[in-house]
Amino acid sequence: MSLLLDTSVGCLVGAAVGDALGGATETALPEQIRARYGGWVEGIVPPFHADWATARPLAPYHKGDGHITDDTLMTHALVRAYAAKRDHLDAYDVVELLVPDLIERVVYIPDLEREGVTFHRLAAAERWLVTRLHHAHADPREAGVGNIVNCGAAMYMAPVGIVNAGDPAGAYAEAVEIAGAHQHSYGREAAAVFAAAVAAAAAPGAGVDDVLAATLDLARDGTRAAIDAVVKEARGYDDWKVAIPALRAAVAPYDTVGEEYRSPGLGARRPSRLHAIEELPVALGMLVVARGDYRSAVLGSVNYGRDADSTATMAGAIAGALGGAAAVPAEWAGTVAAASRTDLLAPARVLAEVATEVFDRDRERFARRAERFGGLA
């Protein structure tokens, strides 16, 4: 297995496994998680609500038991968009490649336990893609303006980091372009910074500090401030169990959702240059606490609760890119693939092939530019 393929597998399988583990604890608070499961969650567990089909009528999803959620469904859809174009993506490709995949391609949806189009599993902020681009025919470069500001675009941006492996600035720029069709404000910024983090993690020999340096170099406004605050706090811990309340306190000034996660106030999810989504800074904080270890970073994210599936998706993608396929516990990956009836390896293989082709095209493009610039110089 080439290093690029190993990194792609670690990243995408790592993201999917984090998603599946975090799905069970999503929206719950740490003390509620411990009460429900009789202690810390240490692996794949049943749904938080035993009566999951009726407990939350608006979201009758079978989360837990190793089922991936919309985070992974969207990630795999983005991989298919790359596979179709075999080159960098832009906002118009979201219209022409991603949105049709969401509304036309039938896939197995694990937490609905049936086949259907991915659109049927999306939340309101992600359905915005279809409303604005497919129905309203908005300019894709600015279609994200007006959406609920959340982590919906960030949660599936890991493939951008692999396509731009070793080039965090390139990943940041491409993700800003793609995410503009979906999100705005700090939701769009988080998508770009997450892609950059994956690209930094994908560089040969990269470590946690390389990822943090790239994110802090590229992040802007409240997103940068939140990452900086959480990372500084995280450096004082080496046990995620102890770190959870400290990381929450560090990110709280930048988070608009508030302490009552299921009952956010009127200021929640509105655009601002001062605020940040919670999930990415916490994922990076858990990566610091775990010293890059996949299992610890993901379990810390899962037990943190709140938007646990997206936080664990991001932590899992970055830790998986750092450590490769072997970093992701095989028993978790096998159970998630079987329970979700989803091939977790195939998208990673395809993405590694596409990334190689894109690099070759980039090299040709730069050679042409160098020749022309040489003539000018």
Instruction: List residues forming the annotated binding site for Mg(2+).
Output: 69-71, 307, 309-310
Return the sign of the alpha-carbon dihedral for residues 209, 213, 215, 220.
positive
3 state DSSP class of 141 = coil
Pair 47, 326: CB distance under 8 Å: no
> Around Cβ 88, how many Cβ atoms within 10 Å?
18
CA distances from 251 to 226, 241, 258 (A): 6, 17, 10
Decide the pairing of beta strands 114-117 and 106-109. Answer: antiparallel
Q: How far apart are CA 44 and CA 46, in angstroms?
A: 7
Q: Write the Ramachandran bin of 86: left for phi over 0, alpha for psi from -120 to 50, otherwise beta.
A: left
Residues of each annotated binding site:
69-71, 307, 309-310
CA proximity to 62, closest of 53, 54, 71: 53
Provide the total of helices (H) and of strands (E) in the chain, helices listed first: 18, 2
Residues 6+ apart with CB under 8 A from 302: 18, 21, 22, 24, 25, 41, 308, 312
Tokens at 292, concatenated: 């890059």
Q: What is the dihedral of CA 178, 181, 182, 183, to 10 degrees?
A: 90
Pair 182, 128: CB distance under 8 Å: yes
Q: How far apart are CA 167 and CA 13, in angstroms?
A: 21
Residue corresponding to tokens 């998680």: 33
